Amino acid sequence: MHPHLERVLVTEEEIRNRTAQLGADIARDYADKNPLFIGILKGACMFIADLVRAVEIPLEIDFMAISSYGASSKSSGVVRIMKDLDRPLEGRHVVVVEDIVDTGLTLAYLRDVLVHRRAASVKIAAIFDKPGGRSVDITPDYCGFTVPNEFIVGYGLDHAERYRNLPYVGVLKREVYEH
């Protein structure tokens, strides 16, 4: 275990097994729909790479990068699109892939944007869900693990851009982020 962690919350094997289940669920739900998977950078890069390999139907992949408008944006929910999709999505069945849903503000905003662009459907796949952090009513359609309201890192989740490459997820020691 990384020395900056207090404990491991979800192991590499648990992530692998759960992702395989989610992939099978999505493949069943989207057979013949040629879904568009949209990974939200940067946190979702690990999960989307693993997830799509478990979805054994034809599909396409694209990415968006979004950024908050400074500190207050977490409460306003306004985000800025830093990198947009390469292709129009009108009429497409979309699966938004996220590492974590916390307040839910990012996804609530993004879902509205995608619906406004006339996607045929928009669903959300998140490997981690932190319902204790929620400030808007949004629930991932495909969820890997429910996590407690603690500072977690790994498998795409960072603190000051570190720890994203840990293959598991753990709780960061308080002294690492409080100094």
Residues binding ligand PRP (CB under 6 A) = 40-43, 98-106, 158
Shortest approach of ligand PRP to residue 141 CB, angstroms?
A: 15
Nearer to ligand PRP, 2 or 33 (CB): 2
Output DSSP code: residue 148: -
Task: Return the closest-CA partner of residue 96 out of 135, 139, 132, 156.
Answer: 139
Q: State how far the Cα of 172 lies from the Cα of 157, in Å rounded to an integer.
A: 11
> Do you know the residue count of the chain?
179
Provide, rounded to whole angstroms, the least separation between the CB of residue 41 and ligand PRP. 6
- Cβ closest to ligand PRP, residue 31 vs residue 82: 82
Q: How far is the CB of 43 from ligand PRP (least distance, A)?
A: 3
Cβ closer to ligand PRP: 28 or 68? Answer: 68
Is residue 141 part of the annotated active site? The answer reads no
Nearest Cα to Cα of residue 146 among 161, 131, 124 = 131
Element (H, E) at 170: strand 169-172
**Nearest distance in Å: CB 32, ligand PRP:** 30
> Residue with CB nearest ligand PRP?
43
- Reduced to 3 states (helix: H, G, I; strand: E, B; else coil), residue 159 is strand
List the Cα angle 97/102/103 in 5-degree steps: 115
Question: Which residue in the list 102, 137, 141, 158 is annotated as catalytic?
Answer: 102
**The token pair that represents 118 in the structure block:** 């006339």
What is the spatial distance between Cα 150 and Cα 133, in angstroms, rounded to a whole number?
9
Q: Which is nearer to ligand PRP, 58 or 167 (CB)?
A: 167
Catalytic residues: 102
